[in-house]
Structure 1
Amino acid sequence: MIRFGPWSTMLGMAAGFGAVVAVLLLASPGNRVANRLLAALLGVAVLRLMPYVLGFAGFYDAFPWLSFAPFNLGLATGPLLYLYVRRLVEPRLPRGWAWHLAPAALTLAYTTWAFALPLAEKMRWNDTVHVRWIAPVQTWATTLSLAAYLVVTALFHRRYQAWLAGAVGNPADHHQPWLRTLLAALALWLLVAVAFDAVDGLLAPLSYYDRFPQYLAFAAIILGLGLEGWRHAGTAFPVMTASSPPESVSAPARDRDWTAQAGRWRDTIREAGWWREPGLTLAQVAQRLGTNETYLSRALNQGLGRTFSALVNGLRVEAVQARLPTTEPGELLTLALDCGFASKASFNRVFRDHTGMSPSAWRAAQKTESRGFTGNEATADGDAA
C-alpha cells in the first residue's frame, strides 16, 4: 500500500524543491553552461533521495520491478562540481571534459541494463552478484571520486583566488562565498555518507530505516544548495583567461630591465587615468599597453615588487590622499568612487592597507601636522643657540 508519511513527505519536499530549482537553472539566462552543470548536480542529488522517498512511501513493496531504477548517479557528483566551478570562472570547459563523466555513464548503463531484466532474473542477479561484488565497489568508488574531485576543485579555486588577486583592480569586491559554500556542502555530504557507510561495514549493518538521518542530512544540503545556487545564478565572476604567449622581442626576456619597463608602464597607467576604472583588469591594461598579461605581471612583480592590484590601488590611494585634506566628510564616498574604488568597504580596506590608518584618521593627522608647522622652526633654533 502506497502511503506518504512524515518521512517520505519530508524527503519528497526537499527532492521536489531541488528539482524545481534545477529546472529554473536550466532556463536561467546568465552563466548558461555553468548553470546547466549546476542543474545537473542538483538533479543527481535529487535522484539520490528518490529510493528513500519511494521506499518510505511503499512503492518498492507495491512495485518490486522498481528495483535497479537508475537513481544512483553518485559518480557524477564530483565531476559536475569540478566542471561547474571551472566553467563559472573560465571562458570554456576544459578539453576532454566529457571523460570526467564516463564512470557515471558506465554506472547508468549498468543500472539501466539491470533495471530492464525480468523481475525474477533481476532479484537473482541482485542477490548473487550485485550485493556481494558490485554494490561495495560502487559505494567506495563514489566516495573516492567525490573526495578526489573536492580536493582538485579546492586547489583550482585557490589558484583562481591567487589569479584574482593579481589580475583585477579590486579583488576584494569580487569575493564570493558561494564557491566555498558549495565545496563545504559537498564535503559535508561526503562526511555523512562515509560515516554511515563505515558504521554499516564495520560495526553493524544498517537497515533502510536506520539510514533515514543520512538522507535527512542530504535533504537539508539540497535545500541549501538550491537556495544559494539560484541566488547566485546570475552572478558575474571575473573570467580567468590563459596568458598570451610571450611577445616577440629581440632580447631574451631574462635580459630585460624589468624595473625600467615596469616604471614606464606604471607612468602610462597613471597618466592615462586607467586606475579610475573600478573594473580594471590585468588583461585590459596589457592590451592597451601593447603587451600581454605574462610580461606585464612579470614586470610589475620583478621590477616594482608589486602585483597589478597593489599597483592600481596604490595609484588610487595616492589620488585620494591628494584630495582628501580639502574634502568634506560627507563627500568621502564620492571621492572614493571617483578615484576608482567600487565600494566604501573596499576603499576603507585598501586605504588602511596602504597607509596604516582609516581615511578619516589620515586626514585628521594631516590637519594636525599642518597646524603644528609654523614655518620658522629653523629660525627659532638659531635664536635659541
Structure 2
Amino acid sequence: MQIPFTVLVLLLLAVVAQAVFAAGLLWVAPHNRRPNRLLALLMLAIALWILDGFFRVAGIYTQNANWYFAPIYYSFAFGPLLYFYVRSLTNHAFRLRPRHFWHFGPVALQAALYAALRLTSYPTRLWFWEHVHRPVTYRLEFIGTWVSLMVYLGLSLRLLRRYRRYLDDNFSETSQLRLRWLRTLLVLLAVVSAQWLVEVVLREFFDLYYRYDYSTDLLGVVVFCIGVVGLRQADMRAVHFRPETASAAEVVAGAEDSPTGSAPAVAGTGESAGAAAPPADSPVPGRPQPAVDARVQERVRRALEDEQLFRNPTLTLTELAAHTGLPARLLSFTINQGFGKSFNDLVNGYRVAEVQRRLARTTDAQRLTLLGIAFESGFNSKTTFNRIFKQVTGVAPSEWAGKEGRMNEENSPSS
C-alpha cells in the first residue's frame, strides 16, 4: 500500500498522533481525574473521526476497499462527552449515574452497527453501502451527529453561563476557575458545526460529497487545542457547582416546614438570624422576597472589615460561613441583597480599598512596591490585581499610585 505524503496527509496523521498522546496524558493526570478522562475519551472519538479523513485523502480506501466500515465511528459521543466533561469539571463531586447513560444510546447503536458490519463479508458490506448506508444510515449519522453536537453545545454554554454566576457568589479569586478557554473551545466547535451544516446542505440538495469537506480539518484544530489547554487546566477540586440542586422554593418551604421553626444563630450574638433565604437571583414565584437580617449583614461586615478576612487571597464563601457559623446560603443572600454585590465583588472591593489606604500612607508606599502592597491586601496575581483595581476605580493601579505619590510629596513637611 502506497501513501502519498502530501501536506494534508501529514497534518491529519500528526493530529491523530497528537490526540492519542494527549489523551493518554489526560487519562493518567493526577488532578481533575474524572473530567480529564471524559476529555480523553472525547479526544479519542474525534481522533478516530479524523482518521477516517486520513484514510480518504491518503487513498487507503481506494487501494483496499476492505477498510470501509472500520469500527472507528463514534461521532454520536461528541456531544454527550463534551457536556458531561463540562459538568464534571465544574463540580468535583459529579458522577455519571445510570440515568445519564441514555445520552450514550445513539453512539452505542452506532458502534454496534459498525462492529456487526465488520463481521460480514465484503459483498454484504458493499450491498449495505449501496442500498442502506448511503441513502439512509449515512444521512442519519451525519445529520444526527450535527444535531446532537448543536444540542449539547447549547447545554454546555448555558451551564458555563450559570457557572460564572456561581463563581462570583462563592469565590474571591476566580482567575484559575473561570474556564474562559473552554468557552472559546465551545465557540470553535460552533464554527465547526456551521461548516458541518454547509456540508449537509451541499450533500442533501446538491449531491456534492467531500467537495467542501472542511469540518474534518476544523475538528483537527479543535482536538489540537484540547490537547494543549486541557492539560494546563488548574485543579478544580474546590468547585462544587450543582445546577440541579434544590430550588429556592424548596429551600424556603423547608425552612418554613421545619419542626422547630428555628433558625441558625448569628455567631457572636447568640440570636437567631431568621430562616435561610434563597439567593437573590432566584426569587420564589408567589412569595414575598425575604428581608435582609441586619445582624447577619453586620456580622459579614465585621468578618471582612474588622477581622480582615479579605486578606486571605483564596477566601471562599464556604470559609466565610465556617468563620461566622452561618449557613453559606444565608450569607450569599445577605451579600447579594444587603450589600447589593456578589461575594467576589464585595471581597475584592475591600482589597482595593486596602490598597488605596496603604498607598496614601507614606511609610507603606516607600517600604513596599505596588505589587507588594497588593499581595498584602489579599490579591495573589498581578493580572487579577490590575484588572479588578481598574474595574473598581476606573484607573490603572500605577496611575493611582502616581497620583498618591505626588500628593504625599506635596503634603510632606519639606515641601
Range class of TM-score, shorter chain = 0.7 to 0.9
Q: TM-score, normalised by structure 1?
A: 0.86
In the alignment, the residues of structure 1 paired with residue 410 and residue 221 of structure 2 have an alpha-carbon distance, to the nearest angstrom, of 63
In the alignment, the residues of structure 2 paired with residue 198 and residue 47 of structure 1 have an alpha-carbon distance, to the nearest angstrom, of 24
Does 2:73 correspond to 1:35? no
* 2:280 match: none
- How far the C-alpha of 1:102 sits from its partner, in A, is 1.9
* 1:305 match: 340
C-alpha contact (below 8 Å) 1:160/1:240 kept by paired residues:
no
Counting matched residue pairs gives 371
C-alpha contact (below 8 Å) 1:18/1:46 kept by paired residues:
yes
In the alignment, the residues of structure 1 paired with residue 143 and residue 192 of structure 2 have an alpha-carbon distance, to the nearest angstrom, of 14
Secondary structure at 2:77 match in 1: helix
Does 2:197 correspond to 1:194? yes
Does 2:185 correspond to 1:182? yes
1:328-367 equivalences under 5 Å are 328=365, 331-362=369-400, 365=403
Q: Which runs of 5+ in 1 are unaligned?
A: 374-385
- How far the C-alpha of 1:179 sits from its partner, in A, is 0.6
In the alignment, the residues of structure 1 paired with residue 217 and residue 404 of structure 2 have an alpha-carbon distance, to the nearest angstrom, of 60
Of the three residues 311, 314, 318, the one matched with 2:349 is: 314
* 1:81 match: 82
Identity of aligned residues (%): 29
In the alignment, the residues of structure 2 paired with residue 289 and residue 237 of structure 1 have an alpha-carbon distance, to the nearest angstrom, of 23
Any idea what the Cα deviations from partners look like across 1:62-106, whole Å, max 9, x if unmatched?
443322212221111011111111111212136433322221112
Secondary structure at 1:171 match in 2: coil
In the alignment, the residues of structure 1 paired with residue 122 and residue 406 of structure 2 have an alpha-carbon distance, to the nearest angstrom, of 89
C-alpha contact (below 8 Å) 1:174/1:237 kept by paired residues:
no
Does 2:298 correspond to 1:295? no
Q: Which has the higher helix share?
A: 1
* 2:73 match: 72
C-alpha contact (below 8 Å) 2:32/2:237 kept by paired residues:
no
In the alignment, the residues of structure 1 paired with residue 383 and residue 52 of structure 2 have an alpha-carbon distance, to the nearest angstrom, of 48
Letter in 2 for 1:345: T
- How far the C-alpha of 1:339 sits from its partner, in A, is 1.1
Any idea what the Cα deviations from partners look like across 1:146-193, whole Å, max 9, x if unmatched?
001111100101111111122111334644432122212222221222
In the alignment, the residues of structure 2 paired with residue 142 and residue 305 of structure 1 have an alpha-carbon distance, to the nearest angstrom, of 44
Any idea what the Cα deviations from partners look like across 1:327-352, whole Å, max 9, x if unmatched?
23652211110110112232233333
Q: Which runs of 5+ in 2 are unaligned?
A: 256-261, 264-271, 278-288
In the alignment, the residues of structure 2 paired with residue 77 and residue 315 of structure 1 have an alpha-carbon distance, to the nearest angstrom, of 44
* 1:148 match: 151
Q: TM-score, normalised by structure 2?
A: 0.80
C-alpha contact (below 8 Å) 2:199/2:213 kept by paired residues:
no
* 1:240 match: 240
Secondary structure at 1:142 match in 2: helix
Secondary structure at 2:120 match in 1: coil
Secondary structure at 1:291 match in 2: coil
C-alpha contact (below 8 Å) 2:143/2:200 kept by paired residues:
no
In the alignment, the residues of structure 2 paired with residue 59 and residue 360 of structure 1 have an alpha-carbon distance, to the nearest angstrom, of 61
CA RMSD across the alignment: 2.8
- How far the C-alpha of 1:140 sits from its partner, in A, is 1.2
* 2:304 match: 269
Letter in 2 for 1:44: A
Letter in 2 for 1:12: L
- How far the C-alpha of 1:110 sits from its partner, in A, is 1.6
* 1:104 match: 107
Secondary structure at 2:231 match in 1: helix
In the alignment, the residues of structure 2 paired with residue 287 and residue 55 of structure 1 have an alpha-carbon distance, to the nearest angstrom, of 60
- How far the C-alpha of 1:372 sits from its partner, in A, is 8.1
Letter in 2 for 1:167: N
Any idea what the Cα deviations from partners look like across 1:257-285, whole Å, max 9, x if unmatched?
42332122221233332211111111221
